[in-house]
Structure 1
Amino acid sequence: MARLTGGDPSLLRRINSAVVLHALRTAAPAAAPTLTDLVKVTGLSRPTVEGVVEGLIDAGLVVEAAAEEGEARRQGRPARRFRFRREAGHLLGIEIGPHRIAVLMADLGGRVMGSAAQEIAATASADERLDGVLATVSDLLRRSGVPRGQLRAVGVATPGIVEADGTVRLGTALPGWTGLPLGERLRRSFRCPVLVENDANAAAVAEHWKGAATASDDVVFVLAGLSPGAGSLIGGRLHRGYGGAAGEIGALHLLGREATPEQVLSTTGEPLHPLDEAQVARVFALARSGDERAEAAVERFMRRLVHDVAALVLALDPELVVVGGWAAGLSGVLGPLRAELARYCLRPPQVVQSLLGEAAVATGALRLALDHVEEQLFAVESTVTARR
């Protein structure tokens, strides 16, 4: 922690509060720390720790814990113990996709407390889709007994290129999505910070948090579908690019060198219509049954996917590639991808399948909300830097 000079008692109180709160939050659940423990961990004086703890109790973020069993008999009056109140607020992670809306709710420690999902038509308008989001959230809060005012932050993940303020600059996967001020619309309903991110970016964050990429900080997550997207972590930090469009590998065919997805997956010579997951699953099923045209279409699909991923891998040199999305469940994706990357890359990355599956996007959205709350409560260094 940076050393402060000069008089700024309010800033110093915030720093001390963040230090003590972080120590309480990271303490083992079975061993709530005493004031003496907190003094040792934080390096602060006992009067400072006592004052900070009382302030955190008044703020509802800390509560006195029960004495450990047998402690009173051994020592007379037991030392006061304290714990972080994870239940002092709640977070939401929301996935808004072409076919479904999914919501996860967690406490301030990131522990998932409930979930809800509903199917939605691919043709639904933006207003219908947002109504579906609010209805799904309301149902989850009602079933969980959590008041809306308990929400501290909401993370939202959606297809498209998302700007920093939550506006969808380009979103062709959902009707009426391009230009939608998604963050602004949702903030009216939640009255708490709403953070909006691209779905592949959110999934990359999720896999790094509690999925297949927990041991790696240089990761590419591929959301494999009709038009694949990707999210990247460099040094453990999400790489969004200058305008939020990093990882849009599904647009590579627009360079004019390759066919459109409708042509790639066609088994008749005519563009595949409608181009949806059910149709594509049918093409893969035909290929498995030995249909030669379907086999050729699947081969073209695989070649397109692995070439798109190889372009991003060559640019970023990640340690790990995680493949998710609905196409990751189709047989034969990982093998060709590994072989193609071995051909093109000087140091081919490890290639694995997502461990979170269809929960990856909503889980990543939840992590975004948790990151925001942690920054508000625990980011001592950023606080110091901002006030210099």
Structure 2
Amino acid sequence: MFGVDIGGSGIKGAPVDLDRGDLAEERHKVLTPHPATPEAVVEGLVEVVQHFDWSGRPVGVTFPGVVTDGTTRTAANVDKSWIGTDLAAVLRGRLGCPVTVLNDADAAGVAEMTFGAGQGRQGTVVLLTLGTGIGSAVFTGGTLVPNTELGHLELHGHEAEKRASTKAKEDQDLSWEHWAGRVQKYLAHLEMLFSPELFVIGGGVSRKAHKFLPLIEDIRAEIVPARLQNNAGIVGAAMAASSAAGDAG
């Protein structure tokens, strides 16, 4: 199966080995265009898929926003013209193969629950992808509650992702300590709302978890980095494509 992860900074994809839950080949990445209009992003996505000469076989695609039935419903970190775009249909036309589209954090969460840090956990698990924004995936009893978008919660008068995303850290030149304090306040807010047993921290910054997770205190839930790191979205997208192909069959 093939997975593509559309992010605020990059569009990356690769064939995926679903037996191992890992990339079958080194991923290919192109920069996300700005403005990130549907037309421009689709061109980048097609380039990623064609890099591997992948044709005729199912493709899974993640999107950084709410997705229902292959249609994108929100556009917080991409161009507003995405709202109401039937991305699955557009890509089926361009790629000539079955396409499944889902929220990016949901894809990462499904991968982590199956192959990664959430494997075997039956209580409430919250995965957060810290990047251009903050994506979220919530599971209870191993079942996903889709399109939660908890990065848009208000926290101390601000949208959470404007304070605690990796982009906020970079744009405001925050130290690891200062940024970890913001992440801690965000996690405390989520803990109050959901009482999870586990937080899984994903996104590109998960590679540097040792620099900030030890600085987070006073959270009852266990906090761990995503085991699949920034490949989780690609793996989850391929899993969704495989599931859709099975349902269709």
**What code does the residue aligned with 2:71 have?**
T
Q: CA deviation at 1:336?
A: 4.4
Asked if 1:361 corresponds to 2:233, the answer is yes
Change beyond 3 A, Cα 1:118–1:161: same
Q: Which residue of 1 aligns with 2:75?
A: 171
Question: Which of residues 39, 47, 50 in structure 2 aligns to 1:138?
Answer: 50
For 1:224 and 1:262, the matched residues in 2 are separated by 8
Q: Which residue of 2 aligns with 1:116?
A: 28
Q: Which has the higher contact order (CA 8 A, sep 6+)?
A: 2
Residue segments in structure 2 that go unaligned for 5+ positions in a row: none
SS at match of 2:173: helix
After superposition, the C-alpha distances for 1:67-107 in whole angstroms (9 at most, x for unaligned) are xxxxxxxxxxxxxxxxxxxxxxxx22110111111112146
Q: CA deviation at 1:199?
A: 1.0
**What code does the residue aligned with 2:61 have?**
V
Contact persistence 1:223–1:323 (CA under 8 A) = yes
Structure with a larger share of its residues in strand: 2
1:191-210 pair list within 5 angstroms: 191-210=96-115
Q: TM-score, normalised by structure 1?
A: 0.55
SS at match of 1:340: coil
For 1:184 and 1:215, the matched residues in 2 are separated by 35
For 2:157 and 2:205, the matched residues in 1 are separated by 20
For 2:35 and 2:157, the matched residues in 1 are separated by 27
Q: Which residue of 2 aligns with 1:258?
A: 157
Question: Which of residues 143, 167, 170 in structure 2 aligns to 1:280?
Answer: 170
Q: How many residue pairs align between the two structures? A: 244
Contact persistence 1:200–1:222 (CA under 8 A) = yes
Contact persistence 2:209–2:225 (CA under 8 A) = no
**What code does the residue aligned with 2:199 have?**
V
For 1:111 and 1:231, the matched residues in 2 are separated by 20
SS at match of 2:153: helix
Change beyond 3 A, Cα 1:279–1:334: closer
Q: CA deviation at 1:261?
A: 6.7
Percent of matched pairs sharing the same residue: 28
Structure with a larger share of its residues in helix: 1
SS at match of 1:155: strand
Q: CA deviation at 1:237?
A: 1.8
For 2:221 and 2:228, the matched residues in 1 are separated by 20
1:55-70 pair list within 5 angstroms: none
Change beyond 3 A, Cα 1:356–1:139: same
Q: Which residue of 2 aligns with 1:322?
A: 200
Contact persistence 1:249–1:308 (CA under 8 A) = no
For 1:305 and 1:373, the matched residues in 2 are separated by 38
Asked if 1:349 corresponds to 2:221, the answer is yes
1:211-360 pair list within 5 angstroms: 211-218=116-123, 219-225=125-131, 227-240=133-146, 244=147, 246=148, 248-253=149-154, 257-259=156-158, 264=163, 277=167, 280=170, 283-284=173-174, 287=175, 299=178, 301-328=179-206, 329=208, 332-337=211-216, 339-341=217-219, 348-360=220-232
Contact persistence 2:203–2:229 (CA under 8 A) = yes
For 2:162 and 2:43, the matched residues in 1 are separated by 35
Q: TM-score, normalised by structure 2?
A: 0.82
SS at match of 2:73: strand
Q: Which residue of 2 aligns with 1:7?
A: none
For 2:173 and 2:83, the matched residues in 1 are separated by 30
For 1:177 and 1:307, the matched residues in 2 are separated by 31
After superposition, the C-alpha distances for 1:147-179 in whole angstroms (9 at most, x for unaligned) are x12x0x22111111112x121111111123233
For 2:85 and 2:5, the matched residues in 1 are separated by 16
For 1:364 and 1:263, the matched residues in 2 are separated by 26
RMSD: 3.0
Q: CA deviation at 1:108?
A: 7.4
Contact persistence 2:180–2:212 (CA under 8 A) = yes
**What code does the residue aligned with 1:155 have?**
G
Q: CA deviation at 1:187?
A: 1.9
Q: CA deviation at 1:330?
A: 6.1
**What code does the residue aligned with 1:236 have?**
G
